[in-house]
Chains A and B, each alone.
Chain A
Amino acid sequence: MEAFDYLAPHSLLEAYAALGNGRRSLMLAGGTDVIVQLREDRRHCDQLIDLKHIPEMMSMKLTPEGRLEIGAAKPLAEIYEDGEIARRFPALIDSATIIGGTAIQSRASFGGNLCNASPAADSAPALMALAARLVIGSSRGTREMPVEEFFLGPGRNALQPDELLLQVIVPAQPAHSGAFYHRFIPRNEMDIAVASAGARITLDAAGERIESVRVALGAVAATPLMVAGANTAVVGKPPTAETFALAGQAAAELATPITDMRGSIAQRKHLASVLTVRALEGALLRLRENH
């Protein structure tokens, strides 16, 4: 590990100034990715900029309309320990509670999980299913984008060198909807997704027909993947096993996985379908339990 400087700005302005000083920067949120990568010589920097002293980065707010705004560096444990948030966004909690163990969750953030841009990042498919948006800032101003547009490839995200991820925004969820996220791992703990799926299902008021689904996959392509075809395949149909199988098929068809030590192409394509079906079943169960 090479020597680097540690900076702890107390405001966004200070942080932007540090980002513009011409040196190679990396951000430090929880540090559960970046410190490991620095130690293993997988990343290099001249300065590590700690975001945890910037109030905006550590904030969390639930608006009266039911919209959730999370500072990018907010530790996962502080999110899932909030009972109201856990009740309203169980799919978010599905992901927050499986990223590492308690020690990791006390530090790790959604912002870090997203910016690290691993195809297997557990928060990504969950946030995509919930139609979350990201607020990005720089000294030039702020911009917003849907979370599914943020990932460019393994370890690569849409941030410009002078930009920071400021907030994750989860909109108020539609009526008659439920959402669910899960992953497949060979063990019951201490593993990274071989494949994963998040799903949100919205039914008509009668609860008989599917109005829409949002299905997102992890670890089956170079980036987390939105399965638009799943919605096309099931919209207007009753929420049955046969219908869900169509969504599963769309997921498997879209997946372009690789073979590596965590799984094979054939296994991951198969899992894309299995996990999609099971995520939709989980989402439907939550929807029914709430009504």
Chain B
Amino acid sequence: MTTTERSPYKVIGTRPIRPDGVEKVTGKAQYGADVRLPGMIHGRLLRSPHAHAYIRRIDTSAAEKMPGVLAVLTHHDFPAARDEMQELGEGAVNLKELSDNILASDKVLYRGHAVAAVAALSPHQAEEALKKIVVEYEVLPPVLDVMDAMRPDAPLLSETRFTREMTGQKSEKPSNIASHLQFKSGDVEAAFAEADAIVERDYTTKMVHQGYIEPHNATASWNADGTITIWTSTQGPFVVRAQVAEVLRHPISTIRVIPMEIGGGFGGKIPIYLDPVAALLSKKSGRPVKVLMSRTDVFEASGPTSGTHIALKVGVKDGVITAVKADLAYEAGAYAGSPVGAGALMMLSPYNIENFQIDGYDVVVNKPKTSAYRAPGAPAAAFAIESALDELAHKIGADPLELRKKNTAREGTRRVDGTAFPRIGHEECVDAALNSAHYRSPIEGPNRGRGVASGYWINAGMQSSVVAAVNTDGTVNLIEGSTDIGGTRASLAMQLAETLGLPFDVIRPTVADTDSVGYNDVTGGSRTTFASGMAVHEAGLDIQRQMRERAAKGWGVAADAVSYADGRVTLKTDSETKELSFAEIAKKAASTGGPIVGRGSLTARGAGAAYATHIVDVEVDPDTGKVTILRYTAVQDVGTAIHPSYVEGQIQGGVVQGIGWALNEEYYYDDDGRMANSSYLDYRMPTALDVPMIDAVLVEVPNPGHPYGVRGVGEVPIVPPLAAIANAIADATGHRFTSLPMSPRRVVEELHGLS
């Protein structure tokens, strides 16, 4: 459903079949695990059985003698890494820690931490050889929970980590708290003293995984001339190249990364894990080497998102939210870098709140190093604030959506960091939710309830570079460097078609490797349709300009005397009108100056923020604690929906991940720090049978920062569901759940006072 006036566009807003669709539905598309090269052998990694231990000795001699083994690798084979930060687009990484995370040097910091690798003729030979590697560990007590890790007497993951303040100050004693940040304004205590109603609660969420279907993979060939070719599925081939270049100390231009189709990433396929290992195994063996993770490897040793603890206090007076105090503690995993900063920054962004103090703590624990996961940091923060607002609405007898409307942020409202919002669409989302058929329908029957929640995501811009080559028959090849996760081949080709005034199917988009197009940041931060779209628009304008120049030259007039519109160049004088079509100019390229190539290369500014408001109905089985999602409506300000079906798909996908996070998903650890549910059998993501049709309502408040009004749409839909579902369960049962997941176990234990 779309709420918009008549579209000014011809291609934008239509729903063509995606250019990669046929290949994908016929099974022809090549994913990372499909790579097969002549002479290729297979790499596997040995992983730590302990969550926290010193490595005292590694003996690989027996493994080297095993049948079929051609190379064995440990951390000693890596060049010494620089202890400095590198920007990755969605987050940054310390290079020493990156290297240590790929193959541990002196210490393992989580179960599944890689310590050695073997390449052999068959995967089974590689696995058998791993069993012959002897690693002597000195086992240390693990610390698995963020609150335990913050205690002064907690086991330290690193003796040289100190708490860094925003001022740059460092703590006196080493700590698992890597950093502390604060946003503060007004007088919180005075506002609480005057409040009509206050809610004060602790909220917790568990570590959860993105759950992409395709495990991590990398195939590498270290060529005889010293160049390296890497085939991998990734959200950013250029970022893989940059990281590999740093870890292996190899010039960037000699590394070629070929992005394969990607079976999901959601932020988890930005860091590298296997690429340098495959490359060095290839160097040692002289063969191309393919390395794959198992599902358990993916759970134990890729980058899930943080478990969190949020202590929150919110006050209202006369229906106005007057004060918020929040302490956010996020698990970073083995190395610093949780998304607590984003959580703290975004928590209050749907609202205009005068007095607040938000403190954030980035805390290391003996679990895998967290990575980005769809709106990283925001869902847990929204779970806390949106649950508290629901309780406050009940306390003061307000409709929960009306409370949100009354306190909504608008153009000019300041975010907690002081930045004033440009045109944003939160109020429009709340209005659309209030007016929706869903919200206006009654919720009837025993054990049923309804919940609502809002969410915000900042969205990213960053660098994009594209080239569009015009062919003699009037078709266009669009060469881009953003890997296509959510339908961006389609959304970018559509924007070029719109800019050039051509039909969609004239444009053929291709995702190129790192040798074949300029630098592109990752497909992440909901930035590709926005930022690469701006680059595509720029390339289209570049082609327009060249076509005008050539036509004008032929007509013997100045270029600014002619115009370009609807795929034609026109010269209008008082006496006559001359026209040349796009195809006619394209055909004559050879004689008018050679190939016509448009270029767009930029750092995109003006990413418009995304807002969403969700409504959910649930039914709770009081005897088993099982929650059934009966109906779900997700309202979202999408700026301009380039391809509405794919926008709806993003919203539905985000909601489903949110439902899983709310109801069942969690890293379930035993006391030794072993994840006991590292399979899709026991890590309970929702299946198609667990979710109803999710109704996506697209509100279009165009982003003034983009030529077509695009806002990133992919991340914000995962922000509201956790709280919306908790609020619905509270409505159905009268019990307020402040810890996720709200699994049947937790619900039934709570409802029946068990345990």
Residues of A within 8 A of B (CB): 1-3, 184, 186-192, 194, 260-267, 270-271, 274
Chain B residue, CB-CB nearest to A263: B745
Name A270's contact: one of B127, B690, B754 (CB within 8 Å).
B754
Q: Interface of chain B, helix or strand or loop or mixed?
A: loop
Contact A261/B744 with A187-B664, A187-B689, A274-B623 known, Cβ cut-off 8 Å: no
Q: Can you sample 17 A-B contacts with CB below 8 Å? A: A1-B124, A1-B127, A186-B664, A186-B743, A261-B676, A261-B682, A264-B754, A264-B755, A266-B749, A267-B745, A267-B748, A267-B749, A267-B755, A270-B748, A270-B752, A271-B748, A274-B624
Contact of B754 (CB < 8 Å), options: A187, A262, A266: A266
A125 to B254, CA, bound (A): 63
Complex: A3 Cα to B66 Cα, angstroms: 14
Identify 18 new A-B residue pairs, CB closer than 8 A, beyond the known A189-B687, A263-B745, A271-B748. Answer: A1-B127, A184-B624, A186-B663, A186-B664, A186-B744, A187-B664, A187-B686, A189-B690, A190-B687, A192-B681, A260-B676, A264-B755, A266-B754, A267-B625, A267-B749, A267-B754, A267-B755, A270-B754
B755 x A188 contact (CB < 8 A): no
Q: Bound state CA distance, A1 and B689, in angstroms?
A: 34
Q: For the complex, what is the distance from the CA of A274 to the CA of B755, rounded to whole Å?
A: 17
- Decide yes or no whether B505 CB sits under 8 A from chain A: no
Assuming the contacts A264-B749, A271-B624, asked whether A191 and B684 have C-beta atoms less than 8 A apart, the reply is yes
Q: Mark B615-645, 1 if CB is under 8 A from A, else 0.
A: 0000000011110000000000000000000
Q: Does B668 contact A (CB under 8 A)?
A: yes
B680 within 8 A of A: yes
* A188 in contact with B689 (CB, 8 Å): yes
Residues of B within 8 A of A260 (CB): 676
Closest 4 CB pairs of A and B: A266-B754, A266-B755, A261-B677, A188-B689
B residues with a Cβ closer than 8 A to A are: 124, 127-128, 623-626, 663-664, 668, 676-677, 680-682, 684, 686-687, 689-690, 743-745, 748-749, 752, 754-755
Residues on the A chain within 8 Å of B664, using CB:
186-187
Interface SS majority for chain A: loop
Chain A residues, CB < 8 A from B749: 264, 266-267
List, in ascending order, chain B residues with CB within 8 A of A274's CB: 623-624
Q: Which residues of B contact A262 (CB under 8 A)?
A: 682
Known: A184-B624, A190-B680, A261-B677. A2 touches B744 (CB 8 A): no
* A195 nearest in chain B by CB position: B624
CA distance A77 to B690 in the complex (A): 24
Shortest Cβ distance from residue B728 to the other chain A in the assembled complex, whole angstroms = 17
- Does A264 contact B745, Cβ atoms closer than 8 Å? yes
By a CB distance below 8 angstroms, the chain A residues around B682 are: 192, 261-262
Q: Which residue of A lies closest to B622 (CB)?
A: A274
Do A186 and B127 have beta carbons less than 8 Å apart?
A: no
Most B CB contacts (10 A, CB to CB) among A184, A261, A264 go to A261
Residues in B with CB closer than 8 Å to A190 are: 680-681, 687
CA distance A191 to B755 in the complex (A): 24
Contacts of B624 in A (CB 8 A): 184, 271, 274
- Alpha-carbon separation in the docked complex, A2 to B127 (Å): 9
- Taken together as a complex, chains A and B put the C-alpha atoms of A146 and B664 apart, in Å, by 37
C-alpha spacing A29/B353, complex, angstroms: 65
B124 contacts which chain A residues (CB < 8 A)?
A: 1, 3
Q: How far is the CA of A186 from the CA of B677 in the complex (A)?
A: 14
Complex Cα gap A22–B752 (Å): 54
Query: Contacts of B686 on A, CB cut-off 8 Å?
Result: 187
- Contact (Cβ within 8 A) A194 B744: yes
B160 → A minimal CB distance (Å): 35
| A186-B626 contact in complex given A1-B127, A261-B676, A267-B754, C-beta closer than 8 Å | yes
**A270 — which chain B residues lie within 8 A by C-beta?**
748, 752, 754
Expressed in whole angstroms, the Cα–Cα distance for A2 and B67 within the complex equals: 13
Are A191 and B681 in contact, CB atoms less than 8 angstroms apart?
Answer: yes
Q: Which residue on A lies nearest to B668, using beta carbons?
A: A261
Among B128, B690, B752, point to the contact of A187 (Cβ < 8 A): B690
Q: Which residue of A lies closest to B682 (CB)?
A: A261
The smallest beta-carbon distance between B684 and chain A, in angstroms, is 6
- A101 smallest CB distance to B (angstroms): 10
CA distance A285 to B127 in the complex (A): 53
B748: which A residues are within 8 A, CB to CB? 267, 270-271
* Alpha-carbon gap, A261 to B743, bound state (A): 11
CB proximity of B382 to chain A, nearest CB, Å = 24
Give A186 to B749 CA distance when docked, in angstroms.
14
Contact partners of A192 in chain B: CB under 8 A: 681-682
Shortest distance from the beta carbon of A243 to any chain B beta carbon, whole Å = 18
Chain B residues positioned under 8 Å from A3 (CB to CB): 124
Please indicate the chain A residues that have their CB under 8 angstroms from the CB of B127 in the complex.
1
A271, B748: Cα distance in complex, Å: 9
- What residues of chain A lie closer than 8 Å to B744, measured between beta carbons? 184, 186, 194, 267
CB nearest to B753 among chain A residues: A266
**Nearest CB to that of B660 among chain A residues?**
A187
Q: What separation, in Å, do the CA atoms of A265 and B128 have in the docked complex?
A: 38
Complex interface: chain B residues within 8 A of A261 (CB): 668, 676-677, 682
| Residues in A whose Cβ lies below 8 Å from that of B745 | 186, 194, 263-264, 267
Residues on A with C-beta less than 8 A from B680 are 190
